[in-house]
């Protein structure tokens, strides 16, 4: 049911608004890529009936402290960071934890993410991993998905864009925000400072 709802609500990069995009380090275009992908997934999930975001931060659960940083949700035990999520939500009352990979997938600590979520919500959570299935790094994508989805709580979702499409969206961000690329494809600040307002999510 959840995967069907996700597909029904599917959006594309063209649907993503950049007007209020917040980037942790806008000087680094890799950070912009990640922020755009995360915005896309947040906007996508917000279109799903029965999906609401967990925005109750900061809060404490057991020995954990959960807080929202600029770009993710950080879970700490004492002074130590235990895990971070790109989003936390509920689908028809069941907790959902979200991991977003814009291009490079790297390591996704699935067992730790699920264990941490169970301590937070006192029940098993569904984990959604969003990434582009067609990217060259994922030439063994079937094997990777099979490994992750061996756990029935985990579902992988193709964001559906190409590398070129994401790069075009990054260029659009710099046109809108006042940044620009140099010949070396690195952004250069054109104005003294710019801080765009945060994207507003609907609470659970």
**pLDDT per residue as tens digits for the range 118-161:** 999 999 999 999 999 877 655 566 677 777 888 899 999 999 99
pLDDT of residue 147: 78
| Angle in degrees, CA 100, 101, 107, rounded to 5 | 105
| Angle in degrees, CA 59, 69, 156, rounded to 5 | 95
pLDDT of residue 58: 97
Q: Which contacts (CB < 8 Å, 24+ apart) does range 105-113 have?
A: 105/131, 105/137, 105/138, 105/144, 108/148, 109/83, 110/148, 110/151, 110/154, 112/82, 112/83, 113/83, 113/85
pLDDT of residue 74: 98
pLDDT of residue 134: 78
Q: Please write the tens of the pLDDT for every residue from 1-21.
A: 999 999 999 999 999 999 889
Q: Could you tell me which residues come within 8 angstroms of residue 59 by beta carbon, excluding any fewer than 6 positions away?
A: 65, 66
27 vs 76, residue with greater confidence: 76
pLDDT of residue 2: 96
- At 169, list the tokens: 């969206």
Q: Please write the tens of the pLDDT for every residue from 72-123.
A: 999 999 999 999 999 999 999 999 999 999 987 777 899 999 999 999 999 9
pTM: 0.85
Residue 27 has pLDDT above 80, yes or no: no
pLDDT of residue 138: 57
Distance CA 39, CA 140 (A): 26
Q: Which contacts (CB < 8 Å, 24+ apart) does range 61-69 have?
A: 61/119, 61/120, 62/119, 64/116, 64/119, 64/120, 66/120
Residue 25 has pLDDT above 50, yes or no: yes
196 vs 77, residue with greater confidence: 77
Query: Which residue(s) pair with 34 in the sheet?
Result: none
How would residue 203 be classed by pLDDT, with cut points 50, 70 and 90?
low
pLDDT of residue 28: 84
In order of start, what are the domains of the chain with their CATH numbers?
2-189 (3.40.1350)
Q: SS3 of 12, please?
A: coil
């Amino acid at each position: 049911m959840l995967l069907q709802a996700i597909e029904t609500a599917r959006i594309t990069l063209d649907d993503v608004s950049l007007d209020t995009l917040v980037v942790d380090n806008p000087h680094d275009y890799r950070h912009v890529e990640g922020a755009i992908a995360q915005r896309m997934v947040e906007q996508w999930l917000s279109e799903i009936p029965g999906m609401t975001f967990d925005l109750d931060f900061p809060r404490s659960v057991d020995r954990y402290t959960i807080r929202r940083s600029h770009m993710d949700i950080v879970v700490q035990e004492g002074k130590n960071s235990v895990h971070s999520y790109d989003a936390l939500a509920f689908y028809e009352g069941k907790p959902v934890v979200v991991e977003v990979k814009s291009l490079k997938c790297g390591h996704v600590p699935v067992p730790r993410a699920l264990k941490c979520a169970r301590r937070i919500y006192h029940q098993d959570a569904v984990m959604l991993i969003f990434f582009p299935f067609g990217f060259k790094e994922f030439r063994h994508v079937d094997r990777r998905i099979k490994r992750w989805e061996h756990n029935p709580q985990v579902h992988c979702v193709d964001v559906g864009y190409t590398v070129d499409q994401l790069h075009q969206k990054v260029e659009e961000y710099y046109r809108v925000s006042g940044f620009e690329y140099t010949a070396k494809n690195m952004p250069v600040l054109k104005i003294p400072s710019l801080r765009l307002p945060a994207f507003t999510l609907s609470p659970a």
